[in-house]
Amino acid sequence: MSSKTPSRSAPRRLSRQDRTTLILRTAREVIREKGFENFLPLEVAQRSGISEGMVYKYFKSKRELMERVAEDWFEEFLSEAPPPAQDLPLRDQLFQVIWSSLMSIQREPALTRFVLMELRADPNYRNLPTYRQSRRFAKSVVDVIELGVERGAIRADLNRKLVRDMIFGAIEHSTWAFLRGEDEAFSVEMTARGITDMILDGIRTPKPPTSELVERLEQLTRQLAEELRHSAAAGTAD
């Protein structure tokens, strides 16, 4: 509604804190509407009802501002999507993590594009807060895996990093068309379900292959026969 109005009826004087928040909120709005490729500090200033120079007082550079937007967004996401309760079934835990990730992508495609295309590709990515946040979230996935391993439900010899890459890779690839604007939307439920199932059925502790079963049956049969032989012997002895 009032989003495009250049002069917000913002109070003239705000604390540094509040002003920072305002600028960040406006900046997110701009990225959302225009895409990060068309992000202009000037527009943020105008929409925030402040001067362009002011933006640079609060943020060293355009880049820093944008990174802060991503950071704040990610932080919100992390606090809204806490690690799943450990008492839930493994499958549900994993589903929940994947679901919330897809949910966040669907809500903020523009910001997602910014993080995936611009920040992640940056040579300096590892020093960015977003990188840490991304690791934090990824950890919640790895934790679920680890828990499954402890419980014996998941193979212990898995390359955790690879599991993680596969999950997030699947999530990303499943959403590119949407991020490109081709699909109006995608089903978060179905996609999350699909990924969860495939990953789980893939990494779940392998069930005994029949050969083992046969061997065991033969063994048990042999034991039983032995017992019978003993009991027969006992009956004879009587």
Selected range binding DNA among 8-16, 101-109, 164-172, 176-184, rule: CB under 7 A? 8-16
Query: Is residue 186 close enough to count as binding DNA by CB under 7 A?
Result: no
Selected range binding its own copies among 7-15, 18-26, 61-69, 201-209, rule: CB under 8 A? 201-209
Q: What are the contacts of 204-207 at 24+ separation with CB within 8 A?
A: 204/153, 204/154, 204/155, 205/152, 205/153, 205/154, 205/155, 206/155
Q: Cβ neighbours of residue 104 under 8 Å, at least 6 residues apart?
A: 77, 81, 112
Of the candidates 134, 131, 160, 132, the residue with the CA atom closest to the CA atom of residue 145 = 160
Nearest approach, Cβ of residue 118 and DNA (Å):
13
Query: Which of the listed partners (DNA, its own copies, none) does 136 bind, with a CB threshold of 5 to 8 Å by partner kind?
Result: none
Q: Cβ neighbours of residue 87 under 8 Å, at least 6 residues apart?
A: none
Residue from 180, 183, 187, 189 touching its own copies (CB under 8 A): that is 180
Query: Is residue 36 close enough to count as binding DNA by CB under 7 A?
Result: no
Nearest approach, Cβ of residue 151 and DNA (Å):
50
Query: Which of the listed partners (its own copies, DNA, none) does 202 bind, with a CB threshold of 5 to 8 Å by partner kind?
Result: its own copies
Query: Which of the listed partners (its own copies, DNA, none) does 233 bind, with a CB threshold of 5 to 8 Å by partner kind?
Result: its own copies
Residue from 151, 156, 162, 183 touching its own copies (CB under 8 A): that is 162
SS (H, E, C) 181-194: CCCCCCCHHHHHHH
Q: Which is nearer to DNA, 38 or 221 (CB)?
A: 38
Nearest approach, Cβ of residue 114 and its own copies (Å):
10
Query: Is residue 38 close enough to count as binding DNA by CB under 7 A?
Result: yes
Nearest approach, Cβ of residue 18 and DNA (Å):
8
| Interface map 48-67 toward DNA (x if CB under 7 A) | -xxxxxx-xx--xxxx----
